[in-house]
Chain A
Amino acid sequence: MASSRHSPVSERLGVRIALILISVAFMALFLLLPLVAVFSEAFRSGFGAYLAGLNTPDAQAAIRLTLLVAAIAVPLNVVFGICASWAIAKFEFKGKAFLITLIDLPFSVSPVISGLVYVLLFGGGSVLGPWLKANGVEVLFAVPGIVLATIFVTFPFVARELIPLMQDQGTNDEEAALSLGANGWQTFWRVTLPNIKWGLLYGVLLCNARAMGEFGAVAVVSGKIRGQTTTIPLQVEMFYNEYNATAAFALASLLAMLALVTLVLKTVLEWRFGDEIAASGH
C-alpha cells in the first residue's frame, strides 16, 4: 500500500496545495504588497521628486537623528547584553531567573508604556526631571530621552540571542584559557568573543533594525519638535499627516530598505552559521 509509506502528518495533495496557496496569498497581501506600495509611492513622481523628498532639511535631520540614536543605543546594548548574558550563563547567583524574566520585559510591555515610564521618571512632575533641568540637562522632549527609550525597547535583542548560546558553550573554553595563563581580558577577547561573534552579529542586526524603526516609545518621549527630535519613523508620520506623500514614502523607503538588508543578512547568517546562532524565537 502506497499510503502506508506516507508520514502520518502528511495531508492529501489537494489539501497541501490549498494550504500553500493560502499562505502565499496571505503573505503577498499583508507583507509583500505593502513593501511594493512603499516603493511605488516613493517613486510615483519620479526619481527627482524622491531625492528632493529626502533632501528636505527635516528629512535630513530625521536621518541624522536616527543614525545618532542607533549609534548610541546599539553599542550600549551590545555591552549590556554581553554583560548580562555572561553573568547569567557563566555564574550561579540568586535571582537569576528573575533577571532573565526582567530582560524580556521590553518585549512583553507595549512600547507606549515604555515611553510613558520615562515621562514619569523625567517629566515635570517627577523628582529627577526638574533637578536635571536645573542642571542644564534636558531628557524629555530631547535627544537623551529618545536614546533612553530606544535602549529600553531594544535591550532584549542582544541578550536574548547570547544567553542560550553562552549557556550552551559553558565555561570550559574560558577555564582552558585561564589555565593556560590568559588573564580575564585576554580570555574575553581571544576566546569568548570569537565563540559568540556570529550570534552577537545576529543580535546586533535585529537590535539595530528595531532601534531605527521604533515608533511608539520614541513618539511618547520625543515631543516631535521638527528638525530636532523627530526620528525617521516620526518624520514619516509628520510628512504623511501634512499630505506630503512623496516625502513620507521616500523616507519610509529607507526603513523598508533597512528591513530588506537586515532580512538578507539575517538569512545569510542563519544559513552560514546556524549552529553558532541561537536563532529561534525571533
Chain B
Amino acid sequence: MEVRVSNVRKEFDGFAALKDVSLDIRSGELIALLGPSGSGKTTLLRLIAGLEMPSQGKIFFGDMDASEKTVQERNIGFVFQHYALFRHMTILENISFGLKVRPRARRPAAGEIRRRAMELLDLVQLSGLEKRYPNQLSGGQRQRVALARALAIEPGVLLLDEPFGALDAQVRRELRRWLREMHDRTGHTTVFVTHDQEEALELSDRLCVMSQGAIEQVGTPDDVYDRPASPFVFGFIGESSELPVTVGNGELLVEGRSIGVPVPAARPGPARLFFRPHDVDLVEGDATLAGAVHTSRRVGGTRRVELDLGPANHRVEIDLPFDHPAGERSQLSFRPRRWQLFPAS
C-alpha cells in the first residue's frame, strides 16, 4: 500500500512538532525515518498510524484519504518502542488479539485464529513459547512477539517506532538482519523510526532524514550518504569535517590562499566546504590544506588525525591508513578528494 503524507503540520499546544511535511512512501518499500531526538519522527509515525490527528494537511493510503479515519479503520500494524505487550496474556493470546477483537462477521473461527497465530510465531522463530507470558521473555523475543502481533491483522502498512532501541548492540544487529529478511519475504510497506544511522543505512530501501520538524532529505542510503542535500544531512549522516571557504576565480580559497580545488560553476563569495575524513588525499606542495596535527588516534583499521588549519586554527578531521608513515608527522597537507559546497549561512 502506498502512503502519501501531504503538507502535514502537527502542533502540540502551539508548538509545531511537524512543519509542513510531505512524504511519498512507495508500496512495499522499507523506509527509515532518521533524525536527532525531538525531530518529530515518532510524531510523523503516529500521524500515519492515526494515533494522532494532523493539525493541517492530509494523509492518503493509496487513493483513499485516511486523514479522518480512526486508527482501527486504517488497518496498520504498529510496533511500539517498549513493545506494549499485554502482560496478562500469553504470547499466543497476544498474537491472536487482533483477530479475536474483530466483529463476528470478519472474525475467523477459533481454530483458524490459533493456526494463524502459531504460523506467525513460527515466522518470528518463537515456536514453543506460546504459553509464556511477556515477562518471561527476553527483550529481543518480546520485540519479535510485538511484530508478530502487528502482522496478525494483515496490515496494509507496518509502522515500527525504534524497534530495536531498547536492545543491546549484538541483538540489534541480529534482529536488523532478521527484519530485512522478513520484509523481503512478506513485502509489507514498512516505515521504521530510528536514530541509529548505521541501522538506517543498512536496513532501508530509502531513508528520510528529519530535523526540527521538517524533512531534510529523502533518498536511497547511497544518495543520502554521497549527495547530502544540506549541511545538516552532511553532518548528521556519517563522519564529516567542515571548513569555511571563499569562492573566487573559480577556485576555493581558505583565508585568501588557493587550496587547489577548482570550482568552475560555484557562485563567488563565502561558502561552507564539507568533506568526509576518509575522502582526502595526502599531498605535498603549495595549493593544499596544511595544518598542525593536534591529535592522532588509531581507531580500528584507520588513523584519525585532528588538524588545526591555518592561522585561524580551524579544526578538521582526516583519516589515514593506520600504518601510513605520515601518521608520525606533526604537519600534514591534504586535498579533499570528494566534497560538497554549501552557501554560507
Contact = CB atoms under 8 A, between A and B. Distances in A.
Given A175-B51, A175-B78, A180 B84 contact: no
Contacts of A173: 84, 86
A172 B88 contact: no
A166 B150 CA distance: 24
B97 A177 contact: yes
A182 interface: yes
Contact of A179 (B49, B85, B87): B49
A180 B80 contact: no
A34 interface: no
A186 B101 contact: yes
Interface string B81-95: 010111110000000
Given A172-B80, A175-B51, A175-B80, A180 B101 contact: yes
Contacts of A179: 49, 51, 71-72, 76-78, 150
A172 B49 contact: no
A194 B87 CA distance: 9
Interface in A154-206: 172-173, 175-183, 186, 190-191, 194-195
Interface string B128-150: 00000000000000000000011
Nearest to B97: A180
Determine the interface band of chain B, counting residues with CB < 8 A from chain A.
20 to 34
Contacts of B150: 179-180
Contacts of B78: 175-176, 179
B86 A183 contact: no
Contacts of A191: 86
A183 to B, nearest CB: 7
A167 to B, nearest CB: 16
B160 to A, nearest CB: 12
A194 B134 CA distance: 15
Contacts of A194: 86, 88
A216 to B, nearest CB: 40
Contacts of B102: 181
Nearest to B102: A181
Contact of B84 (A172, A181, A190): A172
B98 interface: yes
Contacts of B153: 180-181
Nearest to B51: A175
Of the listed residues A176, A181, A194, A195, the one surrounded by the most CB atoms of chain B closer than 10 A to its CB is A181
A183 B98 CA distance: 11
B123 to A, nearest CB: 17
Interface in B150-177: 150, 152-153
Contacts of A181: 72, 75, 98, 101-102, 153
Interface string B305-338: 0000000000000000000000000000000000
A182 B72 contact: yes
Closest CB pairs A-B (n = 6):
A180-B98, A172-B84, A176-B84, A179-B78, A182-B101, A194-B88
19 contacts: A173-B84, A173-B86, A175-B78, A178-B70, A178-B72, A179-B72, A179-B77, A179-B150, A180-B97, A181-B75, A181-B153, A182-B98, A183-B101, A186-B101, A190-B86, A191-B86, A194-B88, A195-B87, A195-B88
